[in-house]
A = this chain, B = another copy of it.
Amino acid sequence: MVIVMKHGATAEEIAGVIQHVESLGFKPHVSRGEECTIIGVIGDERPIEPEHFELCAGVERAIRILHPFKLASRDFHPDDSVVKINGVSIGARQVIVMAGPCSVESREQLMETAAAVKEAGAHILRGGAFKPRTSPYAFQGLGLKGLELLREAREQLDLPIVTEVMSPQEVTLVAQYADILQVGARNMENSALLRAVGEIQKPVLLKRGKMSTVEELLMAAEYILAQGNPRVMVCERGIRTFETATRNTFDINAIPVLKSLTHLPVIADPSHGTGKWELVPAVARAAIAAGADGLLVEVHHDPAHALSDGAQSLTPDHFARMIADVRRIAEAIGRTTCNRCAMQWSRLSAWA
């Protein structure tokens, strides 16, 4: 923490701040400048907030120096974390594709779509049983019935399942069916839910809130990690901006930023990131080119009749073409999408 005193702060005010710094167990370090005095706060600043100092008399502002997260940080854990699920390794050389319908709607819909995405090369099946919706009048998911259909698909097709959990009471239930628990964008700041998924030992896919910074996303991951669950993946899924041509603005910068700040695997969701199926393949390619470890993609065998998110769902045919393109991009940067490939893994460049 660095505390900047106001232009013209008195010696008494400076002494007051020094005393306050010391009373909190930190060591002050004073630099007297021409226009203002700066006081460095030496010690682990994470538990305190800048405002503690901004209210002292004579203080202009206080600035945090360290990132507020620790367990999620690459400083703390320099090597990439790899999350393993039934033989699938996320965060390693292989690019992982999670695909399936937005919502589970019926056995036919799920099985048809699931078989198609497996055939095309997806590694993990996604599907929503509990659905967060803006309108109370919209379809809210099949609930338990949806979870049972997902288990059926899992067993028939030997595909791990990722599905959303929306409230702390449902965590134990959903964990009985899912291989990966998804915390959705609307719940990224739901600390009760974050703690609940931190207390069980299941991998968690944590989506960035549409209004959340990269730092806040990593603080949400920190909530889960701090409860003792190390298997967290973070997911960029588009942020809200002034642009209205697309549903969200996929933050491509966040991919390399996250890879540099955290050791956790980074997944990209081009379906929500764009909101339009026509744009999904281009943004999926881009995300992999930028270094994402995997994709989360909505696919529906009949998007025009989907009960949710039809506009951003690919048909199985489009998905198969997308995955072929993504494979070529992955190979261009020394990665792969398939388990069988024997290509050498060489990082694109140390600084990329």
Contacts and interface: CB of A to CB of B under 8 A. Distances in A.
Interface stretch (A86-94, A110-118, A328-336, A337-345): A328-336
Interface stretch (A60-68, A145-153, A174-182): A60-68
Interface stretch (A119-127, A163-171, A199-207): A163-171
Contact of A318 (B43, B273, B306, B351): B351
Given A55-B310, A242-B211, A329-B333, A253 B250 contact: yes
A46 B137 contact: yes
Contact of A52 (B60, B75, B254, B310): B310
A190 interface: yes
Nearest to A287: B286
A293 interface: no
B285 A333 contact: yes
A246 interface: yes
A53 B68 CA distance: 23
Contacts of A282: 255-256, 289-291, 352
Contacts of A291: 282
Nearest to A334: B328
A12 interface: no
A51 B291 CA distance: 26
Given A63-B63, A245-B213, A40 B42 contact: no
Contacts of A46: 135, 137
A214 interface: yes
A239 B244 contact: no
B278 A256 contact: yes
Contact of A283 (B215, B241, B252, B325): B252
A178 B242 CA distance: 34
A331 to B, nearest CB: 7
A349 B329 CA distance: 14
Contacts of A273: 253
A124 B242 CA distance: 33
A246 B253 contact: yes
A66 B36 contact: yes
Most buried by B among A135, A223, A253, A352: A253
Interface string A189-205: 11111100000000000
A18 interface: no
A68 B167 contact: no
A244 B239 CA distance: 13
Contact of A189 (B65, B132, B168, B219): B132
A245 B244 CA distance: 13
Contacts of A281: 349, 351-352
Given A223-B136, A249-B239, A253-B250, A283 B278 contact: no
A254 B244 contact: no
A13 interface: no
A213 B193 CA distance: 24
A131 B107 CA distance: 42
A304 B279 CA distance: 38
Interface string A214-227: 11100100110010
A40 B36 CA distance: 11
| Shortest beta-carbon contacts, A-B, top 8 | A211-B211, A51-B311, A31-B40, A29-B31, A286-B286, A289-B289, A256-B282, A55-B304
